[in-house]
Amino acid sequence: MKKSLLIAVLAIIANSTFAQTIKFGLDAGINLANQSFHANSETPTFNNTKNITDFHAGGLVDIGFTHFSLQPGLLYINKGYQFNEALTTVDGSMSKNYDFKFKYHYLELPINVLYKAQVGTGKVFAGAGPYVAYALSGSAPFLNNSPGGTQRVSLFDYINNKRFDYGLNFTAGYQLKNGFGLSAQYGLGLGNLEDSKYGSQRNRVISLSVLYFFK
């Protein structure tokens, strides 16, 4: 994956010289994020997670050719998951439902290759490409004896998740002549965030975006 990303970056530098158009743009929208868990034979599989809704925002560069474009970007994107669990006190006197929300705040570098086709007054596009990301921060709930019952702790100091992530993005959308556009993406995380021998933990994100490219 690291070699593929390096090749993609070199391709951006080389192909920008021969590009027909270079446009700068903005990308903002909502995410439906979750994580995929797979345990080894010694531990049970954790499969009762639910989506969290959050946002992403950042910038894009569209390096355009006749029917294709190379589109790197830099995004601030929130990922994670949640689950609900009923916990009972040690003496069995009280049970309470807790919503546990795990949140990761990433700086992400996607590099997509897009195919574009004229449809009506705009262009339909679809494509895919790799991404790498670094978690600026992340937090999870931790039960304690405070009035609220929980406090937030670091996912990297307390739970020892990994900060670096990588994977593949798949995207499709419609771009108008006035610069605005809409797109949908699916982020398939390939990096194992679990820093232990017990299994794997990978990001899964569906995103809806509003785009704007400056003329």
CA atoms within a 13 Å half-sphere pointing along the CA-CB vector of 154: 9
Second CATH level (architecture) for the domain 2-213: Beta Barrel (2.40)
Which residues touch 34 (CB under 8 Å, ≥6 apart)? 49, 50, 51, 52, 81, 204, 205
Question: Across-strand partners of 169?
Answer: 129, 187
Torsions phi, psi for 144 (to 5 deg): -150, -165
Residue 180 backbone dihedrals phi, psi, to 5 degrees? -85, 155
> SS3 helix, strand, coil % of the chain, rounded to 5?
5, 65, 25
pLDDT digits (tens, 9 = 90+) for 15-54: 555 667 899 999 999 999 999 888 765 555 566 788 999 9
Higher pLDDT, 151 or 102: 102
Contact in structure between 116 and 69 (CB atoms under 8 Å)? yes
The residue behind tokens 């989506």 is 51
Q: For the chain, what percent of residues have pLDDT higher than 70? A: 76
Nearest CA-CA partner of 168 in 126, 206, 130: 130
DSSP 147: T
Domain ranges within the chain, ordered by starting residue = 2-213
pLDDT in tens, 160-207: 789 999 999 999 999 999 999 999 999 999 999 987 677 788 999 999
- CB–CB of 29/208 below 8 Å? yes
Cβ contact 155:102 at 8 Å: yes
Query: Which residue, chain included where needed, has tokens 């990297």?
Result: 156
Q: What angle do CA 140, 144, 150 make, to 5 degrees?
A: 45
Give residue 141's pLDDT band: very low, low, confident or very high (50, 70, 90): confident
Residues 99-108, mean pLDDT to the nearest whole number: 90
Distance from C-alpha of 130 to C-alpha of 15, rounded to nearest angstrom: 17
- Give the least confident one: 52-61, 72-81, 154-163: 154-163
pTM: 0.81
26 with 71: CB under 8 angstroms?
no
Structure tokens at 212: 């704007």
